[in-house]
Amino acid sequence: MKLRKVSAAAATALVLALTATACGGDDGGDSNGSGSGGGNKIKIGIKYDQPGLGLKEPDGSFSGFDVDVATYVAKELGYKPDQIEWVETKSADRENALSRGDVKMIAATYSITDERKQKVDFAGPYLLAHQDLLVKKDSDITKATDLNEKKLCSVAGSTSAQNVKDDFAPKAQLTQRGGYSECLSALQSGAVDALTTDDSILAGYAAQDQYKGQFKLAGLKLSNENYGIGVKKGDTATLNKINTALEKMVSDGSWEKAVKENFGPANYKNEPAPKIGQIVQ
């Protein structure tokens, strides 16, 4: 009799477990958003330290163009803003974060390159950026060759400043800082004459309240940076849904609105919204 009671209890537990599985469990979807949308949470990788693109605010909220784009896309996939879990994804770890399943997608100034496409699938592009220069509002620097004998700042580990020196201004004096904010402070004080990286990143920093009206973009196009949304290699279903969402974001005006809100104070002359799948070399 005792043996039969244990077996009955086990059978009951098995039935309950199977019932819970069939119903999808309490959370309604995987934590990284691998369901068809509308699950409990979707994890999205962004930058935490790029004003105007991906920034974690002091109150714990998030702002920026990448955040706005990802929020719109998540909505089209069936997730409300409070169902999004933002995950800091540093440049060096983006491919690994996707392959490990730490996040469902990444929107973090993620330039589409042939090398990266070997490891990641990209939706988009959703923004065409260019390497540019940020200078003081009254600066007479209007082209890259004007940087000869001038001090050019970029962050440690970046190749942007060296590219300018190699290709345009061999006599430029390169200086590195730990972050873009430090370069901006140096530019503000006159310790350097210009700062270089992607124009979208420069515009985001210059649009901060403490810098409004002090700087301008030179308007150069020293490179083409096609920003895409990265997804795990082979996740075609999610890729197609994201592309559809991006097309809708452009057509209903939300894309242009997000550009103006995040970059407008720096007088950012953005390119028109790129066509899905069209990479500008």
Task: Please report, for the chain, the start and end positions of each structural domain, with discontinuous segments joined by +.
Answer: 42-129+227-266, 131-217
pLDDT of residue 82: 96
Which pLDDT tens digits describe the chain residue by residue (281 residues)?
Answer: 333 333 444 444 433 343 333 333 333 344 566 444 445 999 999 999 999 999 999 999 999 999 999 999 999 999 999 999 999 998 889 999 999 999 999 999 999 999 999 999 999 999 999 999 999 999 999 999 999 999 999 987 688 899 999 999 999 999 999 888 899 999 999 999 999 999 999 999 988 888 988 999 999 999 999 999 999 999 999 999 999 999 999 999 999 999 999 987 777 888 999 999 999 99
Q: Are 120 and 229 in contact (CB under 8 A)?
A: no
The CA distances from residue 105 to 46, 66, 67, 216, in Å, are 9, 12, 12, 32
27 membership: H or E segment, kind and range: none
User: Which position has the token pair 């935490």?
Assistant: 48
* Strand, helix or coil for residue 222: coil
> Do 42-129+227-266 and 131-217 agree at the fold level?
yes
DSSP alpha helices (H): ranges in 23-159? 65-76, 94-100, 114-117
DSSP string covering 103-131, please?
-SEE-SS-B--HHHHTTEEEEEEEEEE-E
**Burial class of residue 198 in the structure, from the number of CB atoms within 10 Å of its CB (0-12 exposed, 13-18 middle, 19+ buried):** buried
Q: In what order do the strands lie in the sheet with 131-136?
A: 173-177, 151-155, 194-198, 131-136, 215-217
- Kindly state which CATH superfamily the domain 131-217 is placed in: Periplasmic binding protein-like II (3.40.190.10)
User: In Å, what is the CA distance from 145 to each residue of 149, 167, 197?
Assistant: 10, 9, 16
Superfamily assignment of 42-129+227-266 in CATH? Answer: Periplasmic binding protein-like II (3.40.190.10)
| Pairwise CA distance, residues 118 & 233, whole Å | 8
Please, are residues 202 and 144 in contact by the beta-carbon 8 Å criterion? no
Q: How far is CA 222 from CA 163, 168, 202, 230, in A?
A: 9, 9, 14, 24
What would the two tokens of residue 162 be?
């060296």
Sequence-ordered list of residues with C-beta below 8 angstroms from that of 37, at least 6 positions apart, any chain: 77, 78, 79, 241
Q: What is the pTM of this model?
A: 0.80
Q: How far apart are CA 87 and CA 221, in angstroms?
A: 31
CA torsion 190→193→198→202, rounded to 10°? 30
